[in-house]
Structure 1
Amino acid sequence: MNGVEPSAYYCPETNESVFFNTEYYGQCKSWALGMAAAVLEDKRNTHSIHGACVDVNGKGVIIVAPTGTGKTTQSFKLMELSDGRIVGDDWVYIDHNEGRRLGYLIGRQPEKSLYMRTETQLTKSWLRKTFDESKCENVVVRKNDCEFTEGSTGCRLNRGTCVFDEGMEWCYYAFGNSRALVPRQNLLGPSKIADEAKIKLLVLLQRDETSPAEARLGEDAAVEVLKKGEYMIRPGAGPRDMWGKLGREPWYNPYLLKLDHSRQERFFRDMIGVFDVKCILLNTGVETVEETYRRILSALD
């Protein structure tokens, strides 16, 4: 629509949205999932979680974390296990009515594709081909738009030569919020995906320099962390003047269009207290990726 700035409108009474002039898949996706969450919570007692879900030998792991703490990295490592399969990397549905009938909770994915941060290609070079074959957004396509150049041809991120000087047409890690929409089976093959997982472990991630590396949380402590939702705003996420400052995302889910704190609290309390899902809080700011990964595996035993 000519003359209309990119915008979106939501009507809570009818649970309908209208988008104008936007090509940002992330916004469209988040609002669509938010509308579905409102209906499913009300009609089906279904919990919508902004997090990754992986099945490891029949044990489901949900990782809930603010941006920049390692959720994608850790879920990827679990998926790479011989008996690991990805359910979803960004959103999980859990039907609590079904859980009460079965005696355990099942996490399911609402999407057939993974909405991946393309900066993961920095440490996994083989992902470049996968991303090249996928739909992407916010990827830097000009060297002049990159903030990480060093000298005439260097790069502060890869500690080597700038990809543009190597003849590449775009850089996947020059902007922190660039994404690729990757069909799940295109990542590691159809044998590495699952549509559901029996939830055994809830992992919360944080990143700071003072908190313990690991803490086992009961329902009270977990709810306190989740409800507060504190996180450090990373470059590329939100307005530039907020980068590096402390932000808050209650329940680490900014996409709930009808935010009912009491219902979110009940869902998480039941997960831990009623369905006996173990909950751990890991600090990725004081340990390496491998050390955090080993803690998750240990908690699954």
Structure 2
Amino acid sequence: MDYEVEIISPEKKDTLIDEKYKQSISYGRKANIEGSCIKLLTNIEGFQNMWTDNFKSMSEDIRPHGRVFALSTDDDEKGVLYEPISKTCFLLNYEYYGYVKSLALAVAGDFLEEYHSIHSRYSVHGAAIDYKGRGTAIIAPSGTGKTTHSYGLLLNEGVRLVADDWFYTRITDSEVEAKASEKNNYIRVDVASSWSEYEGLLKGITLDERGRAVVNVRRVLGEAAMKEYTTLSNVVLLKRDPDDDEIFKKIGKEEALDYILKNEFCNPHQLVKDKRKTKLRKKFFQELFERTNLFMINTVASIDENQDHLREIVLEKTCF
């Protein structure tokens, strides 16, 4: 990630929109992200097209709960600005759609976690897999293999993908619900280098400058490959530590919480990181870990060995 977030005042936000950027906006699209309305405003046609493929649409009659201004400007000064009261984010002079997607999900997460009621939702930067109604979350820092392993698991009969990168949760008295954040997935072309079954997925698709595209996984694996939600039973944390010889283990909630805190909730796209927000997120993960079976996998092992351990958990074959 090559940006830092600057928190700005409502007054600066209004000035930027009214006096600097309003006239340059060419496209506007609203997305339904876990019931919240997040609006994209941009002058980059490619962003609009990928957003439309990526997210469920929201009625134009619904007032936005948050906005993402993704703009190319004359001054070429890169930056990410965020005004948290109105949930307005500015992404300036970045060509990478992945930041547009992630910031939209972060804006929705910032909005949703403020509701302390039965409507409370918390966002998780991780993958969610379903097998016969029982869900497994894979949470990890970027670069440790959560997305690659998610697509490997999908090749097993009965396994379905809820989310490959980001999902939203609701904790009730008895369970943890995990719901999809996107309609279609934004994936790397190199997924086929690990799993040849996906070679046909990106044929005829225009890739962005980082070798990614929004694609419909159902094209390769069928409609049953995707599921809207699941009930989480397991959480798998991934790490990549060559100094640790232990590849696979069951862990307790204190170890899991320590890991998630040390790695900033495994989410590089947190827009607000103050004491109050940290307390909210810590409380959520404490409750999540109290209600699920917890595992740690060190991905320094081969991809096949890691997949074997993940299948033990997801397909409920583990001896723990």
Task: State the TM-score, normalizing by the size of structure 2.
Answer: 0.69
Match of 1:283 in 2: 298
Cα separation, partners in 2 of 1:124 and 1:292, compared to 1, 3 Å: closer
- Residue aligning to 1:131: 202
Paired position in structure 2 for 1:222: 256
CA distance in 1, matches of 2:166, 2:93: 25
**Which of 292, 297, 300 in structure 1 is aligned with 2:306?**
292
Q: Counterparts of 1:125 and 1:138 in 2: how far apart (Å)? A: 22
**1:57 Cα deviation from its structure 2 partner:** 1.9
Residue 76 of structure 1 is matched in structure 2 by 151
* Cα distance, 1:4 vs structure 2: 3.1
Q: Contact 1:15/1:35 (CA < 8 Å) preserved in 2? A: yes
The aligned amino acid for 1:278 is: N
Which residue does the alignment assign to 1:63? 138
Deviations 1:38-88 (A, max 9, x none): 111002321100001111122111101122222122211221111011111
Paired letter, 1:109: A
- 8 Å CA contact 2:237, 2:295 repeated in 1: yes
CA distance in 2, matches of 1:91, 1:122: 23
Give the CA deviation at 1:125: 4.0
Question: Partner of 2:229 in structure 1?
Answer: 196
Q: How many residues matched?
A: 236
Report the CA distance shift for 1:21/1:219 in structure 2 as closer, same or farther (over 3 A). same
**2:286 is aligned with 1:253:** no
Where does the alignment leave 5 or more consecutive residues of structure 1 unmatched? 140-177, 230-249
Structure 2 Cα separation of the partners of residues 55 and 67 of structure 1? 22
Partner of 1:87: 162
Q: Relative contact order, CA 8 A, sep 6+: which one is greater?
A: 1
The alpha carbon displacement at 1:215 in A equals: 2.5
Q: Note the alpha carbon deviations across 1:78-102, whole angstroms, 9 max, x for none.
A: 2111101111101010012xx22xx
Q: Which amino acid aligns with 2:131?
A: V
Question: Match for residue 269 of structure 1?
Answer: 286
Query: What residue is the counterpart of 2:87 in the other structure?
Result: 15
* Counterparts of 1:226 and 1:208, CA distance in 2: 15
Matched-pair contact (CA < 8 Å) for 2:152–2:195: no
Show the counterpart of 1:117: 188
Q: How far apart in 2 are the matches of 1:59 and 1:126?
A: 25
- Structure 2 segments unaligned to the other structure (5+ residues): 1-72
Q: Is the 8 A contact 1:10 1:18 kept in 2?
A: yes
> Could you tell me which amino acid in structure 2 is paired with residue 8 of structure 1?
V
Which residue in the other structure is 2:104 paired with?
32
* Shift of residue 122, structure 1, vs aligned partner: 1.9
TM-score (norm 1): 0.73
Q: Deviations over 1:230-266 (max 9, x none)?
A: xxxxxxxxxxxxxxxxxxxx11101121232212211
Percent identity (aligned): 28
Distance 1:291 1:125, change over 3 A: closer
Which residue identity does 2:228 align to in structure 1?
Answer: D
Paired residues of 2:148 and 2:194 also in contact (CA < 8 A): no
Structure 1 CA distance for aligned equivalents of residues 220 and 129 of structure 2:
14
Cα offset, 1:20, TM superposition: 3.4
Q: 1:270 to 1:288 in 2, by over 3 A?
A: same
Instruction: For 1:183 and 1:135, locate their aligned partners in 2 and report how far apart those are by CA, in whole Å.
Output: 13
C-alpha separation between the residues in 2 aligned to 1:295 and 1:123? 17
Residue 214 of structure 2 is matched in structure 1 by 181
